[in-house]
Structure 1
């Protein structure tokens, strides 16, 4: 895994560092209370494991997948196979990916640099697929390349099936493997790594902010990547450098974006002072014969949320067997596009009208049963984090709020929030999205709202800014 001198391959959870005689109670508590949780903190200069909790248990990577997509892109740049201004074509397959997405159209093109920026900020699934198809020739072949590269980097328990991280039960990883990938990105591509510190970038008329809320908030944090699906929980890989010390931390399976971020803040605060100021940091050397995870080993170690013999038997793929015919589990993906133009400016949006608008706006098929499909947007953290379906909105933000619409379906309300947040830019920076269910049975509506405004003026001004962007809204006191 790490270089033999670093001895990282032999590190286990017994390497838990205890500072001042105090164990990290918050981390241990999170692990015991949440079966999805796994975490690790590595000294980026020596490879020492400063903290670990279930570091080798299998988890779903979600959008952390895009770290490998970006790694292979950096590798192609360094090899001269592509340039930053090389144009990446967008296929119908790529353009039809569910959110989070950039919204590129079939037949359009964007530069490699724009593609990288879209991945590290919005975590755009459509762009990830476009890059994968461009670099690998096909989505399946790129997934093979990703897994082979993982093996070469010593990520022995990671299997990739797609370039973006949308749900696939065969696409698994571990906290330790993700730490290795984070270190490899820093070590192997220092000339490109600064892309992960991108706060925002402009694409067309859009100003796109970064999903990583620790950038500019926690001292020393310079990346790397967030991820979320319902199956994975809230994931984060973080790199931090300060006072001559350097660490890479991983939190997988957080219960919410806020809880995950708080956990990472605490890990950095506790273990950064324990990191060494000495060491070369050259920890990740590619090898041709890294061991792979066997089906029998996987069957014994797959965690509760990935527990199936069928999944374990497939983990030798893609090197030793066929790629599954499915791209990812379509039954677990929500087609979550939302209309915010004049066609949805009324306060109540009907299901049929919204579906028709989606077909017009995105030129993609909207399944008739879409309202009944579970929410599984990758990296759609803002629309899920503060969700409440209480008619009394007990856990909703108090004070002044903005309502952008109401719909008979919760999924569509989430989609409205996601779309509005993408387009809202500064107007919704720091705002908290949530839904409130009112009524009963067939008369029930889900109000899509943003809260967290300091007063009436801020809420009203934000609503005015949204209206200029074509987003209908009104401000009121909760």
Structure 2
């Protein structure tokens, strides 16, 4: 019997090479997409697809969907109206970008503030809404969390109304789908608020960060989010015929990636014969929220070599965006990019203003006298590359800004060419400290409800404020704990 002449070291080296090769093959075969996703039928609550939908995640500016929900609920309960004037506080004015940048003391109506929150993703306006509705920020955040518990969002906790980075501010794809369904069926009269393609401030136009609107046929909501820790988030809705779908994307690697992933999910969901679950689809309430730390995308989306600095306005293509989403069916596209197009505008840019309905003010009054108003970013074409603003860098995460991006700083003054000019008197700008002693308002108790439960829709539904009905197609389960 012949003996092998190979030494133990050589055999070990060979086996190591085989193991490494096998690991590479398995890694290539495995889906590259690891971020949580969820696709749900809005009317039934049936889950059409999900991956890690109960995994904790930072919501970023998707938080603002809850801010808007609480505000609309306050309007429905008669606590204020859409025309109620609310004032920008020093604390609101001090919020990090993305923001409108109005000075403290500026007055806006709730209606205008909500439009700026949903389209511009303005962090200062979200703070203004919170203080205007809750009376103080602690009271408003308490109401956000009470509402989340009432809706059955058992994996969600809020610390602020705008989604700026906070380690304690977490949610899940499951919970965000529950919130989206609640918005759809509790406030049907406000559905247009979530599909505004752009707002208009004087002559300037600001386009919605949700790039599905007017690009994917049937897209009609809702909200994007971005901080470096969360990556690119999106809660989106789309309708074809009598079928409305909700897609949740968390932790995408770019703005383009989340848009294309959502488009692919929608396209799968609108196929009558497609279903990964066979004849029986699970319900949204059957998904369990997980424990543990939230996902962190900072190294992937804000580190390494990128063509542009990561920001909410980033439409940088991601070559791995569609990995794990390719379709075997020949009738479906292989990438989300094939589904996006330039559609006729669904509506003209919606004008917004400062002041009240009966006393509209010039936008110049919303800025400090020694500052020139910053011109809002003009609406970009859907396929336009990120503008120069997305390349700015500064010091704090924010929706619409990079990890630390602030609005572009003013250009530094050039040194005087000649000595001896009389120096100009410098004017130091100051800002008041945030006030937290505003009058408190009582948080109204609400009855417990099944997780993710909403009614089967009827033509022109008129839901009562206290109702949160059970999902159709199954008896109402108890709220998840």
TM-score, with normalisation over the residues of structure 2? 0.56
1:166 aligns with 164
Give the direction of change, closer, same or farther, for the CA distance of 1:427–1:222 in structure 2 (3 Å limit): closer
Equivalent residue for 1:432, pick from 355, 375, 385: 385
Cα distance, 1:229 vs. partner? 0.6
Deviations 1:409-461 (A, max 9, x none): xxxxxxxxxx999634147774312679xxxxxxxxx899xxxxxxxxxxxxx
Cα distance in structure 2, aligned partners of 1:260 and 1:421 = 29
Partner of 1:85: 83
- Contact map agreement 1:66 1:128 (CA 8 A) in 2: yes
1:248 aligns with 2:270: no
Mapped pair 1:302 → 2:302: no
1:210/1:220 Cα in 2 relative to 1: closer, same or farther (>3 Å)? same
SS of aligned partner of 2:296:
helix
1:263 aligned residue: 261
Give, in whole Å, the separation in 1 of the partners of 2:387 and 2:169: 30
Residue-by-residue CA offset, 1:176-201 (whole Å, 9 max, x unaligned): 10011111100000001210011122
Q: What is the CA-CA distance between 1:243 and the residue it aligns to?
A: 1.8
Partner of 2:32: 33
Q: CA deviation at 1:82?
A: 1.2
Give the structure 1 partner of residue 228 of structure 2.
230
Q: State the aligned residue count.
A: 297
Q: Secondary structure at the match of 1:100?
A: coil
In the alignment, structure 2 segments of 5+ residues that lack a partner are 1-26, 275-282, 303-309, 319-371, 394-409, 412-481
Q: Deviation per CA, 1:26-50, whole angstroms, max 9, x where unpaired?
A: xx99995355x10101111211110
Whole-angstrom distance in 1 between the partners of 2:254 and 2:193 = 25
Q: 8 Å contact 2:38–2:174 — kept in the other structure? A: yes
> For 1:400-411, what aligned pairs fall within 5 Å after superposition?
none
What SS does structure 2 have at the residue aligned with 1:273?
A: coil
Aligned in 2, Cα 1:39/1:420: closer, same or farther, shift over 3 Å?
Answer: farther
Distance 1:429 1:109, change over 3 A: farther
| Per-residue deviation, 1:203 | 3.1
Residues 202 and 55 of structure 1: CA distance in aligned 2, closer, same or farther (over 3 Å): same
Residue 222 and residue 384 in structure 1: after superposition, are their counterparts in 2 closer, same or farther (change >3 A)? closer
Distance of 1:79 and 1:200 partners within structure 2: 29
- Pair 1:425–1:271, CA change in 2 (3 A): same
Shift of the alpha carbon at 1:110? 0.4
TM-aligned CA deviation for residue 138 of structure 1: 1.8
Q: Contact 2:206–2:377 (CA<8 Å) still a contact in 1?
A: no
Alpha-carbon distance, 1:140 to partner: 2.1
How far 1:120 sits from its partner (Å)?
A: 1.1
- How far did 1:102 drift? 1.3
Rounded to whole Å, the distance in 2 between the matches of 1:61 and 1:165 is: 7
Q: Distance in 1 between matches of 2:267 and 2:29?
A: 17
Which structure has the larger Rg? 2
1:53/1:128 CA distance change after superposition, 3 Å: same
The TM-score with structure 1 as length reference comes to 0.56
Which residue does the alignment assign to 1:337? none
Q: Which residue of 2 aligns with 1:328?
A: none
Relative to structure 1, is the Cα distance of residues 65 and 303 closer, same or farther in structure 2, using a 3 angstrom cutoff? closer
Is 1:382 aligned to 2:313, yes or no? yes
Q: What CA distance in whole angstroms lies between the structure 1 residues aligned with 2:312 and 2:124?
A: 17
- Verify the 8 A CA contact 2:256 2:315 in the aligned structure 1: no
Question: Deviations for 1:211-247, whole angstroms, at most 9, x for unmatched residues?
Answer: 1110011111110001111000001111111121111
For the residues of structure 1 that align with 2:38 and 2:374, how far apart are their CA atoms?
31
Residue-by-residue CA offset, 1:118-143 (whole Å, 9 max, x unaligned): 01100000000011111112222211
Contact kept in structure 2, 1:31 and 1:53, CA below 8 Å: no
Q: Is the 2:46–2:284 contact (alpha carbons within 8 Å) kept by the matching residues of 1?
A: no
Q: Is the 8 A contact 1:386 1:433 kept in 2?
A: no
Map of 2:148 onto structure 1 = 150
**Counterpart in 2 of 1:185?**
183
The separation in 2 between residues aligned to 1:30 and 1:43, in whole angstroms, is 30
Provide the secondary structure at the position in 1 that maps to 2:43: coil
Preserved contact between residue 42 and residue 181 of structure 2 (Cα < 8 Å): yes
Contact 2:45 2:284 in 1 (8 A): no
